[in-house]
Amino acid sequence: MPLTSDQNIAHPTFSQRIEPTSGNGATRVSWALAHHVTSVAKQRIAATTSRVDERQLQAIREQVALAIGR
């Protein structure tokens, strides 16, 4: 899932706002871009210390389904 800190890229219907909290490890406001899902090589994927909660994960899944027409 691509993330950005640029709100101008985030489409309101297809993006989940992620606020920094002590529990999620985020250092700034970011948006998960459900409308920018794409395939990439496994070598390009890197682990981060940031996390989303169950509510955010469910919202992201619903936005991805909406974006791909499910």
pLDDT digits (tens, 9 = 90+) for 2-61: 889 999 999 999 999 999 999 999 999 999 999 998 899 999 988 888 889 999 999 999
The count of domains in the chain is 1
pTM of the model: 0.80
Distances (CA, A) of 44 to 7, 40, 41, 60: 24, 7, 6, 21
Q: What span, in angstroms and rounded, lies between the C-alpha atoms of 45 and 38?
A: 12
Q: Write out the residue range of the structural domain in which residue 18 sits.
A: 3-67
